[in-house]
Structure 1
Amino acid sequence: MTPPRKLRSNFPRGSYLWAVRNAQWQAMGIPESDSEKPKIAVVNSSSELAACYSHLDQVAKVVKEAIRAAGGVPFEIRTAAPSDFVTGAGARGAYMLGARDLVTNDIEVAVEGAQLDGMVCLTSCDKTVPGQLMAAARLNVPTILVPCGYQASGEWKGHHNDIEEVFIHSMHAQVGGATSVEDVVEMSRSAIRTPGVCSGLGTANTMHIVCEALGLALPGSAPVAALSEKMFADARSAGERIVQMVWDDLKPRDILSPGAFANAVRAVLSIGGSLNAVKHLQAVATEGETGVDVYGLFEQLGPQTPVLAGLRPIGEHLIETFEAAGGCRALMKQLAPLLDTSALTVTGRSVADNLQAVRVGDEEVIRPIERPVSPRPAIVLLRGSLAPEGALIKPGIGERKVRRFTGPAICFDTSDAAVQAIRDKAIRPGQVIVMRGAGACGGPAMGGGASRVVFAIDGAGLGEEVAMLTDGHLSGLVCKGLVVAEVAPESAVGGPLALVRDGDTVTVDLDQRVVDLEVDEAEIAARRAAWQAPRPLFDKGWLQIYRANVGPLNEGAVLVKK
């Protein structure tokens, strides 16, 4: 081991801070001799509210044992543990994204307050992963993220059944589609068979892959089946590695270079990952004070990055198949000609070094660049008069029948009103559904159920007949219809979406990458002069703090001083 350096967690023997810590730790059975060792936070979001987190205590135990064996002292700390399918019940889902920044601040309080030397973060459901990445970038102490795995899915009537299927069919049942309530109940009983995150390529698995592509997770650790031998082996390796990272003073901002962000963007594009990865990566860049424009990277690199793996929901391959083919490491091997392979990683080596001996397990699952699943970008950033700061669409990997859609707007200020209109058959083919008031400020925290509207449209058989615009975000499992999300600036702060009226002509053009409101400029100016900000929702407690301090999407919707 490298000769020790002075650690920030060490205080002069007998001083006030040394003495009171020693008293606390003596009571916990920690020997006095440990006071000079690297002190590592094991960031655990264990919770009994959702399967996503129910196994993390087992992972934490393995990581702590490995840290001790490597000569460090582990301290397990806890954070908020939001799960979209459970925590999304209250405040129209506002606690989901709102908890991301709470996780970051939970970590800051524990790690900075105690002046710990490093972190191993146990990544699980959608918002804990970016929350932990943001904390790593903000605090800039040696950090490794450990993907803690996806859940095993089940079967229903002889077909694959997972949480995505339950979500989709429950919305179909809500709008009188082909699925009955009894079917949904039966599906819910068999969709999840183990702990772990959603098994599709939703936000959680996308962000686990992002951790590795950024260089902040060990190569080959994403994706991984929860509770598998490999998951525990990766966790053990992370516990061993973090101690040397502390002695080497290898910090996140050494790793989070512009090239690392470009690599992560390429990885997301090449698998058609979750749209939510865009704002989460931007939030990491903002917290790390990197100056990287992630939205600009998606705009620039999207047309240059083919889709190499078609995973559910955009393709047919299961996440298990992707892992067996080599996962993120194999994906990056195929992408290597497009990557910054000089980027540093938590191994202390470059991407090129890490990929040198990698072989792709199945080139039908993870294809080479010259034979992609689709040459078209899987995520498209649009701009235009309705979205001067950008908007996102996930058009899928197949050839779309319609790539330019023009039609009259029909506007809703809540997802409930939009779903009811679909149920009442008040929405006609050719219309553009505008669902607003669901942005980072207006939701608040992008709560508002935009995904419910998308699945209701699909359940009503309107997926190819209408378009939809929203300033809200979509579940990472959403890949249906011509749906433009995260339109910015949002309506609650006076963005152009707030000025749209029923009957206005709206155009969405994928090839030109524009989304426009075709209304006379003088009329728009008159509407803007008459516009009044809506009354804030859920204006108390944590959501009030969030709404009052959240920044714009193009900065990652992080909390800022206003």
Structure 2
Amino acid sequence: MTRPLRSNFPRGSYLWAVRNAQWQALGLDEADCEKPKIAVVNSSSELASCFSHLDTVSVQLKAAIRAAGAIPFEIRTAAPSDFITGAGARGAYMLGARDLITNDIEVAVEGAQLDGMICLTSCDKTVPGQLMAAARLNIPTLMVPCGYQASGEFRGKHVDIEDVFVGAMHAVTGSMPVEELIGMSRQAIRSPGVCSGLGTANSMHMVCEALGMALPGSTPVAANSDKMMADVRAAGARIVQMVLDDLKPRDILTHGAFLNAVRVILSVGGSLNTVKHMQAVAVEGRTGVDVYALFERLGGSTPVLSGVRPIGEQTIEAFEAAGGCRALMKQLEPLLMTDVLTATGSTVAANLADAVVHDPEVIRPIDRPVAPLPAIILLRGNLAPESGLIKTGIVERKQRRYTGPAICFWTTDDAIAGIKDGRIRPGCVVVMRGAGVCGGPAMGGGASRVVFAIDGAGLGDKVAILTDGHLSGLVCKGLVVAEVSPEAAMGGPLALVEDGDAITIDLDTRRLDLEVSPEVMAQRQARWQKPTQRAHGGWLQIYRENVRPLSQGAVLVDAGEAPGA
């Protein structure tokens, strides 16, 4: 042993005696109880395919940890899936579940004073929830991406969960037969794992690697593949050495690490949700990093090097075969901070030394990008004093400046009714508000449904959409500005917009403005009253009353001194 372990107590003391009594009953002898103790964080669930394979993965991971001379202790957390857990309370459980996972981990790992942890990452909210816990507790931690699902075919064409999501809202507007939607839904998912496109889950898996919190070359990966299982075993051995070396998350989660992760997401037009999730990790780790400012500053100088679905036509399988995140970082190397430390104990430069790009058409070099303009743009203006995010994709837009009259909605149902009854017309700006972290609460997925319904009605390229809600990481349709902040429910400018007001979105100047005089805005602000919110008890009420704004990552606490600091 190279250093004392916090999990060990003086032989014969109260804590030594009662812990040994418990662990002897689990089959551990006294010598085992002196070894490094590793939490295996397993967000397993039979509710969704995203998590259904994790128990099998955990078996191999625990065997690798034991072989490396440590003792694994498997712990469980909440396991939210947007497509399953999003049914209750109009999707309000989704973002709040992320922070619940963080606190689940704190209770189990910090309460037991375990020496390190290794996290089986899967669906959208489990990855940031686990990363946030790593940053908060600051004990040696390694992320293990557990792969994407296989897609299927329907009537001779590729079909995946994104197609089903889009198709469902097309069926709502009558532009797709229900029977076709049913057929697609039965073929879209052919294995365990996360959504197969570059949505939030695969984007966050790549964030783990780009931050240096996952082994290089481990993302993205097909679920249950030989490659994934080899990475799992390698991670089991590596976490034990990280504990012995006392290599902690805050040694890795530096400003340079976040810069690298932002570059990676910009270079593939990844999920907008990575912005708030990375900001939450930065806040929990007390790093002082402003992730929103990094996206704003780096957007114009980061070329798009790969067009993976939904922003392009490349598949995630082709991206993995081309070398995945490691190959992407190799192409981006001149723009990265390559001297930063990673979970390997080496720098990014060392990790990339022998990296190979297997297909430079799928992952392009910097001097031959897929798109000349950024795929993600952060907007500011009098409608978005803090920020608004837009995923422009890789198709160059002829119209870079859009002005139109507002039509405002407070609920998803009202907005969809507005599509059906013709109130939403070409040329307008649809304002979908009350969908933020407090107004939702927890940013339920209603905004995405409105976007897809508008697309299904044939209006996707004829209107613009503004929302203080979030979008599914699979959304890349039309001119849609999401997560406009401050949110309407807290009196942000979006709450003051009235039907008919002119709104301008300018992608070149990166502005989002309401064409109303400051005097009129001040009058509206003076008479504004906070809207009556839907009643929620239990966890949702706790979340609403304690959540911080998006600029702070929508974390629950004010980043006081963390337990593991």
> Does structure 2 retain, via aligned residues, the 8 Å contact 1:414–1:448?
no
In the TM superposition, residue 561 of structure 1 has moved relative to its aligned partner by 5.4
Give the equivalent residue in structure 2 for 1:319: 316
> Does structure 1 retain, via aligned residues, the 8 Å contact 2:86–2:445?
no
Inter-CA distance 493–49: structure 2 relative to 1 (3 Å threshold) = same
Equivalent of 1:8, from 3, 6, 9?
6
Equivalence map 1:330-341=2 (5 Å): 330-341=327-338
Give the equivalent residue in structure 1 for 2:41: 43
Give the equivalent residue in structure 1 for 2:63: 65
Equivalent residue letter for 2:120: L
Q: Distance in 1 between matches of 2:513 and 2:471?
A: 21
Give the equivalent residue in structure 1 for 2:562: none
CA displacement 1:350-378 (0-9 Å, x = unmatched): 00000001110000000000000012111
Matching of residue 232 in structure 1 with residue 229 in structure 2: yes
In the TM superposition, residue 4 of structure 1 has moved relative to its aligned partner by 2.4
Q: Distance in 2 between matches of 1:471 and 1:375?
A: 28
Equivalent residue letter for 1:68: R
Equivalent residue letter for 1:395: T
Matching of residue 200 in structure 1 with residue 234 in structure 2: no
Q: Distance in 1 between matches of 2:236 and 2:423?
A: 57
Equivalence map 1:97-108=2 (5 Å): 97-108=95-106
Give the equivalent residue in structure 1 for 2:394: 397
Q: Give the TM-score taking structure 1 as reference length.
A: 0.99
Equivalent of 1:215, from 212, 223, 233?
212
Give the equivalent residue in structure 2 for 1:463: 460
Equivalent residue letter for 1:512: T
Equivalent of 2:75, from 77, 82, 100?
77
User: What is the RMSD of the two structures over their aligned residues, measured on CA atoms?
Assistant: 0.9
CA displacement 1:182-212 (0-9 Å, x = unmatched): 0000111000000000000000000000000
Q: Distance in 2 between matches of 1:260 and 1:538?
A: 41
SS, match of residue 60 in structure 1: helix
Q: Distance in 1 between matches of 2:337 and 2:184?
A: 44
Equivalent residue letter for 1:548: E
> Does structure 2 retain, via aligned residues, the 8 Å contact 1:387–1:496?
yes
Give the equivalent residue in structure 1 for 2:531: 534
SS, match of residue 548 in structure 1: helix
Q: Distance in 2 between matches of 1:539 and 1:375?
A: 46
**Which structure 1 residue ranges, 4+ long, deviate > 6 Å from structure 2?**
none
Give the equivalent residue in structure 2 for 1:20: 18
> Does structure 2 retain, via aligned residues, the 8 Å contact 1:164–1:477?
yes
Q: Percent identity?
A: 74
Q: Mark the runs of 5 or more structure 1 residues left unpaired by the alignment.
A: none
CA displacement 1:478-518 (0-9 Å, x = unmatched): 00000000000000110000000000000001111000001
> Does structure 1 retain, via aligned residues, the 8 Å contact 2:23–2:33?
no
> Does structure 1 retain, via aligned residues, the 8 Å contact 2:445–2:471?
no
Q: Distance in 2 between matches of 1:536 and 1:467?
A: 26
SS, match of residue 483 in structure 2: strand
> Does structure 2 retain, via aligned residues, the 8 Å contact 1:143–1:242?
yes
In the TM superposition, residue 448 of structure 1 has moved relative to its aligned partner by 5.1
SS, match of residue 227 in structure 1: coil
Q: Distance in 1 between matches of 2:257 and 2:535?
A: 38
> Does structure 2 retain, via aligned residues, the 8 Å contact 1:437–1:448?
no
Q: Give the TM-score taking structure 2 as reference length.
A: 0.98
Q: Distance in 2 between matches of 1:482 and 1:48?
A: 37
SS, match of residue 369 in structure 1: coil
SS, match of residue 32 in structure 1: coil
In the TM superposition, residue 424 of structure 1 has moved relative to its aligned partner by 1.9
CA displacement 1:5-40 (0-9 Å, x = unmatched): 100000011110010011111111111111111000
In the TM superposition, residue 439 of structure 1 has moved relative to its aligned partner by 0.4
Give the equivalent residue in structure 1 for 2:563: none
Q: How many residues align?
A: 559
> Does structure 2 retain, via aligned residues, the 8 Å contact 1:203–1:273?
yes
Equivalent residue letter for 1:438: A
> Does structure 1 retain, via aligned residues, the 8 Å contact 2:62–2:236?
yes
Q: Distance in 2 between matches of 1:413 and 1:445?
A: 15
Equivalence map 1:96-495=2 (5 Å): 96-177=94-175, 179-447=176-444, 449-495=446-492
Give the equivalent residue in structure 1 for 2:540: 543
Equivalent residue letter for 2:6: R
Q: Mark the runs of 5 or more structure 2 residues left unpaired by the alignment.
A: 560-565
Q: Distance in 2 between matches of 1:403 and 1:420?
A: 29
SS, match of residue 400 in structure 1: coil
CA displacement 1:506-555 (0-9 Å, x = unmatched): 00011110000011111111110110111232421000000000001011
SS, match of residue 31 in structure 2: helix
Equivalent residue letter for 1:144: L
Q: Distance in 2 between matches of 1:59 and 1:535?
A: 46
> Does structure 2 retain, via aligned residues, the 8 Å contact 1:549–1:561?
no
> Does structure 2 retain, via aligned residues, the 8 Å contact 1:210–1:267?
yes
Equivalent residue letter for 1:141: I
SS, match of residue 402 in structure 2: strand
SS, match of residue 42 in structure 1: strand
> Does structure 2 retain, via aligned residues, the 8 Å contact 1:112–1:139?
yes
